[in-house]
Structure 1
Amino acid sequence: MSNGWILVVDDEPDIRALVSEILVDEGFEVEVAGTVEEAQLQRRRRRFDLVLLDIWMPDGDGISLLKDWAEQGMAYCPVIMMSGHGTVESAVEATRLGAYDFLEKPLSIAKLTLTVTRALEAERLSRENIGLKRKLARAVYPEGSSLMMGQLREQVDRIAQHDTWVLILGEQGVGKQTFARYIHDHSSRAEGPFIEVPVSAMTAAEAAAEIFGLEQGPRVRYGLLEQADGGTLFLDEVSHMDLQTQGRLLTALESQRLTRVGGTESLGIDVRIVASTQEDLRVRVTEGQFRDDFYYRLSVVPLRVPPLREHAEDIPDLLLHYVDLLNQQEGLPKRSFSQEACERLSVYPWPGNVHELRNLVQRLLILGNTPEVTLTEVEAALGAQPLALIQSSGQAAMDLTLPLREAREQFEREYFSQQLGHVDGSMTRLAERVGLERTHVYRKLRALGLEPKKTRD
């Protein structure tokens, strides 16, 4: 297996050949460019893991090119600058623009390989750190010691070993994303990216550019499908995807090639699909709202995640799990649950499933001031805000007679309104709090007609 893709940009053929030979011997795939124009073309063709960039070239300079990449949103990988007559000012400017390091010519083979290794390792550790934070935030292990959960985990472990598409079925709040991440983390693609497509937050007009990427003149935006290359693409609530995007995505995945919006070149991809839905896609197919060929391709391996009421014996384990998790994440005090409290929660129907249970535990940890959660507290918490009748201070309860989509939109609008109030308009804190990427949060707020009171990093 390749150690990654590296782009070598230098106007001297001998240096390009030497550096390429060294890197190929180290197990890397290498592409080369001798001009700024060729470098731009190569980066349009694929996402590289690292770029070695000369400063002086016939049609421009590496510093300006690095600046252009940063402005175009293409500064996603380490860049190592090279120069035979660089200055301190050049090195400082390159570092300011995001370059990882600066190598002087003539190049030392030992220093070159060491710097490349260190740059890639630093990038890997950075990604792992982000990934670990996300895993902790989203509890990527399906908790529960019941026979049902044990059998489900065994099924998921078997599924993870194959590269087939997976369709995860289940009610809202059962943890479909948790299982999607679990499949990815236990598959041969675990070292690759896990990219989420928030289908329900995208309009039909946005979906193509977001998923397939966009080319506008010299500017390139890599789409979610391209970002998932070598890993897993998770289509969250795939039932909301418009028919045109379904067809285009199916074609891209079956041919393993994509063309960005506004582009002309076909690019190779290698992606596994895991999708989720709480709706019956067969009904959507009958209604003409979902392509039958896409449905049959998705449902090769269906996985049903049961609602919490079907494995209520896992509730004590889940309570302990979320107490520990919220203590680690938010510094909330640890509290135990009395026997009576556990028994009451075990017979509650949990219409919001595991997500509702987590929210209830969070509320009890915030509001309580004793080491143990009592039955009285649980009754008060369940009576104050059961998910079946969601309401906030001064507002009416949700109208449960609404169609599912309208009810979901009403809930999401109220949910994000409340969360915005907790973070004082900070989009970074809001993204962390709700467990979504910032770009997805912006899109969701726009779709719901909400505006943050103020936006800051």
Structure 2
Amino acid sequence: MSKAHVLVVDDEPDIRGLVREILEDEGYQVATAESADEARRLLAEQRPDLALLDIWMPGEDGISLLREWAAHGAPAFPVVMISGHGTVETAVEATRQGATDFVEKPLSMGKLLVTVEQALAGADTAGEVTPAEAPMTPVGRSASMQALRDRAGRVAGSDSWVLLTGEVGSGRKLLARYLHGLSARNRRPLIELAAGTVAGQAAAEELFGSEQGGRINRGRLEDATGGTLVLDEVGDLDPEAQTRLASAIDAGSFQRVGGAHRVPLDVRLIATTCRDLVLEVNAGRFRGDLYYALSVVPLQVPPLREHVEDVPELVSFYVDRLVEQEGLRYRHFTVAAQNRLRHHDWPGNVRELRNLVQRLLVLGDGVDIDVAEVEAALTAPEPGPGADGWPPRVSLDLPLREAREQFERAYLEQQLARAGGNVARLAKLAGMERTHLYRKLRALGIEGRG
């Protein structure tokens, strides 16, 4: 993983040279620009981990450039403003536009280094997984789960790319987060992309970003720089995006859609799939070169029916987790109830078990959950759409990509209605970064405001 990359924007050559020398001595990678236009060019080539931006420059000032960077929310990287004679008004405006901190001229190199370290540390903290979403260690004392943890621990210490295979609901994404948490990249972003949720041009833009009319939209690969990108259900990745990704892996860099500059590829890729990708390659539905690039280290996640001896431990784990994180009332599964769960075939794997535990905690009465209550929950029919049409009916005869698209369109339309048509509020409701949400709405043909 590369050192932090710092962009220094200042019109004074002596300042640029001195700051570059000091930062490079501390191990940082440094790029310098003397104007807003040069900063834009360098930014198009590589997004920095931090920018030092002078407020007063000939031509376009630093506040205007910061405002441009913050046009769609907070800047994508911390920005420390450099000021020789700033005012309260400029400080307030810079803070409002997302500036992280200020340093004053003449520069104190000691204070500058401390400010840079603190800004980068703050960015790392902001990008970390929150405690409620902290990656959990795969649960289970069975031989298969112990072997999986042992192998994952060895793999995590390397920077090798990993292909996680297993049935739907078996815990592949949880294992991907576990690998990231154990890796040397765990202080950098963990970005996830469901490969089948976008198609055609939208898939390429989502993964690689785009440039149009001087405006840059960064894709998931660039968002994950220095960290890990999880490509969920990579077998559903659009053919055009497969071609672009294979080319990027081969070259070690990529171009945004419509862009002219190449962006360095500095991510660890972890791909997941429930398909047999060898069969997909033989059938011509998945690129062979991409398969071999992604499957440097293959890990198979076993289905729950192959380690049912772990069911009691999993039940206990999810009860405690749901009580702590969601404030649900504690209930205890009797030994008979746990034994019944051990004899279920679990077609939905660990995800089905978690959902069952949650349903019983939410809907049941009394402290104990007995075998009769478990039996009723296991045999209860799945609820259909309510009077308001939610959840939406999605045909199971559709290809996976089309089924996902139908669900996503219905989900986002309903959430957008809840948000009163405001995309900023929708982003919070859906838990999505606003730039990616705009691209998703555009791909689905959904219009919002704000």
Which TM-score band applies after superposition, normalised by the shorter structure?
0.7 to 0.9
Are residues 1:283 and 2:279 paired?
yes
Distance 1:256 1:412, change over 3 A: same
Aligned to 2:186: 190
8 Å contact 2:409–2:444 — kept in the other structure? no
How far residue 74 of structure 1 moved from its aligned partner, in angstroms, is 7.3
Q: State how far apart, in whole Å, the 2-side matches of 1:36 and 1:313 are.
A: 62
2:323 pairs, out of 327, 340, 354, with 327
CA contact (8 A) 1:2 1:27 kept: no
1:405 aligns with 2:399: yes
1:299 partnered with 2:295: yes
Deviates more, 1:6-15 or 1:72-81: 72-81
Offset of residue 441 of structure 1: 7.2
- Percent same amino acid at aligned positions? 49
Q: Distance in 2 between matches of 1:289 and 1:271?
A: 25
**Cα deviation, residue 295, structure 1:** 2.1
User: Once the 2 structures are TM-superposed, how far is the Cα of residue 197 of structure 1 from its aligned partner?
Assistant: 1.7
The 3 A distance-change label for structure 1 pair 443 and 218 is closer
| Aligned pair partner of 2:359 in 358, 363, 366 | 363
The equivalent of 1:111 in structure 2 is 111
User: Alignment partner for residue 315 of structure 1, among 292, 311, 314?
Assistant: 311
How many angstroms apart in 1 are the aligned matches of 2:213 and 2:411? 38
- Which aligned pairs between 1:196-275 and structure 2 lie closer than 5 A? 196-275=192-271
Residue segments in structure 1 that go unaligned for 5+ positions in a row: none
Partner of 1:431: 430
AA partner of residue 126 (structure 1): A
How far apart in 1 are the matches of 2:11 and 2:390? 68
For 1:232 and 1:32, the matched residues in 2 are separated by 27
> What amino acid sits opposite 1:156 in the alignment?
A
Mapped to 2, the partners of 1:39 and 1:337 lie a distance apart of 61
CA offset digits 1:321-352 (Å, max 9, x no partner): 11111112211112110111101111111111
Secondary structure at the residue paired with 2:30?
Answer: strand
Measured in 2, the distance between the counterparts of 1:378 and 1:227 equals: 43
TM-score normalised by L of structure 1: 0.87
Tell me if structure 2 keeps the 8 A contact 1:253–1:271: no
Q: Does the 8 A contact of 2:170 with 2:304 survive in 1? A: yes
Once the two structures are TM-superposed, the CA of residue 455 in structure 1 deviates from its matched residue by 9.7
Superimposed CA distance per residue, residues 52-89 of structure 1 (whole angstroms, 9 cap, x where no aligned partner): 11112122111111101111567111111122222111
Is the CA contact 1:56–1:62 (under 8 Å) kept in the aligned structure 2?
yes
The count of residues paired between Structure 1 and Structure 2 equals 443
Offset at 1:429?
Answer: 6.3
| 2:97 pairs with 1:97 | yes
Mapped contact 2:196–2:238 kept (Cα < 8 A) = no
> In structure 1, what is the Cα distance between the partners aligned to 2:217 and 2:252?
19
C-alpha change, 1:324 and 1:437, in structure 2 (3 Å) is farther
Question: Cα–Cα, structure 1 residues 400 and 271, in superposed 2: closer, same or farther, change >3 Å?
Answer: closer
CA distance in 2, matches of 1:230, 1:98: 22
Instruction: Give the TM-score normalised by the residue count of structure 2.
Output: 0.88
Distance 1:308 1:82 in 2: 56
* Whole-angstrom distance in 2 between the partners of 1:189 and 1:410: 31
Residues 455 and 357 (structure 1 numbering): CA distance in 2 closer, same or farther, change over 3 Å? farther
User: 1:448, CA displacement in angstroms?
Assistant: 8.2
Distance 1:100 1:174, change over 3 A: same
Query: Partner of 1:176 in structure 2?
Result: 172
Deviation at 1:90, TM superposition (A): 1.0
